[in-house]
Amino acid sequence: MAREPRSVEAHVALGHFLLTQNDVAGAERALKTAADLAPVGAAARLRLADFYLLLHDPQQARGILAEITEKAPDFVPAWRRLAEIALAEGKLDESQKALDAVVRKSPADVDARFLRGRVHLARRETTLAIQEFQTVLKAEPRLAPARYQLALAQLQAGNVQRRPRLSSRRPAPWPSSSR
């Protein structure tokens, strides 16, 4: 790291290390340096936005992400992160707009589809939410959060399937071991 002080990866690693040492100011400096050295559509800039989210400063993160999406509109992770922030703040239209941009660029993006399902669920558009979660589960059948959100959407839609009762009789007592 000392040999290549202008290395983006070195500054990102330094930022992460400084965070583990609770040196927030040092971590911010290292991550800002990495972001300044990296191209606009690079993961280092996304790491800086994540750092600000970690500090509960979504406005700073949003500013960085807006710059990324403006200058590198094909960098899908920035659009997804903008959608996550908007969804967390209850700005459903803003989140939907960002997710639509992602799905236009990458229709098979499971994360974007999952978030779109959550937006539809928040809007009480249960049919659309169910469709999105089913699309996610076709691609990732074992994704537990998608199964959970699908169940919530089905409950919201009133599609409750109860388990059939096996018997209306009380179970027999445990058989005695004496013969």
- The pLDDT of residue 52 is 93
For 111, phi then psi, to 5°, come to -65, -40
C-alpha–C-alpha distance, residues 5 and 39, integer Å = 17
- Check whether 116 has a pLDDT greater than 50: yes
- Please report, rounded to a whole number, the percentage of residues in the chain having pLDDT higher than 70: 85
Taken as a whole, the chain contains a residue count of 179
- 157-160 long-range Cβ contacts below 8 angstroms, 24+ apart: 157/126, 157/127, 157/130, 159/130
- CA 115 from centre of chain: 7
- 28-52: per-residue pLDDT in tens? 999 998 888 888 878 888 999 999 9
- Check whether 53 has a pLDDT greater than 50: yes
- Check whether 80 has a pLDDT greater than 50: yes
Inter-residue contact 46 to 15 (CB < 8 Å)? no
CA-based end-to-end distance of the chain: 78
- The pLDDT of residue 2 is 40
Inter-residue contact 99 to 116 (CB < 8 Å)? yes
- pTM score, whole prediction: 0.75
- 128-179: per-residue pLDDT in tens? 999 999 999 999 999 999 999 999 999 998 876 654 454 455 554 555 444 4
pLDDT band at 1 (very low <50, low <70, confident <90, very high): very low
Mean of the per-residue pLDDT values of the chain: 86
C-alpha–C-alpha distance, residues 47 and 58, integer Å = 13
Q: How many helices (H) and strands (E) does the chain have?
A: 9, 0
For 68, phi then psi, to 5°, come to -60, -50
C-alpha–C-alpha distance, residues 116 and 39, integer Å = 29
C-alpha–C-alpha distance, residues 149 and 123, integer Å = 14
CA distance to 117, 127, 130, 141, 152, per residue, from 121 (Å): 6, 9, 8, 20, 8
